[in-house]
Amino acid sequence: MRGVIGEVEEKLRSNEYKMTPKREYVLRVLLENKDKHLSAEEVYNLVKIKAPDVGLATVYRTLELFSSFDIIHSMDFGDGRKRYEFGVDNGDGHRHHHLICVQCGKIIEMNEDLLEDLEERVNRTYNFTISDHELKIFGRCSECMPKNKKE
């Protein structure tokens, strides 16, 4: 974790920002919850446990700062709330995709790139080079599927 914090600190410094203790608390919460898609309020509640003096506005500003430098990625899963992910770059410039349960809100990450053929077709047909894409598929997870199709 220390290495990642150092990398983020260097990225901030190279853009004339400092890694303040409050920013580090936000970063640590994001790192400790890498597998989750936290809202700003959820980040705030987790930061508040360790640093009660950190305000919600500070968390919002920090999340926006981290987003602006591609340290984290924000997305909306259809519930009107921005959610944040740390370390979304998988090395080829594409993010993973998400399956979103419309009943319970569960989010399942898919690491398969299902859109390679479409990207090639878009490039060829429209002379358009895609730098990134994001796919969200809405439906019901296995826990929310009716056990009996008669329902």
Q: Is 116 annotated as a binding residue?
A: yes
pLDDT at 111 over 50: yes
Distance from C-alpha of 142 to C-alpha of 151, rounded to nearest angstrom: 15
Q: Are 95 and 89 in contact (CB under 8 A)?
A: yes
Domains and CATH numbers, the chain: 1-88 (1.10.10.10), 95-142 (3.30.1490.190)
Which residues on neighbouring strands pair with residue 10, listed in sequence order? none
Q: Are 97 and 86 in contact (CB under 8 A)?
A: no
Q: How confident is the model at residue 90 (pLDDT cuts 50, 70, 90)?
A: very low
Q: Is 141 annotated as a binding residue?
A: yes
Q: Are 61 and 84 in contact (CB under 8 A)?
A: no
Q: What is the pLDDT of residues 43-81, one digit of tens each?
A: 999 999 999 999 999 999 999 999 998 888 888 777 778
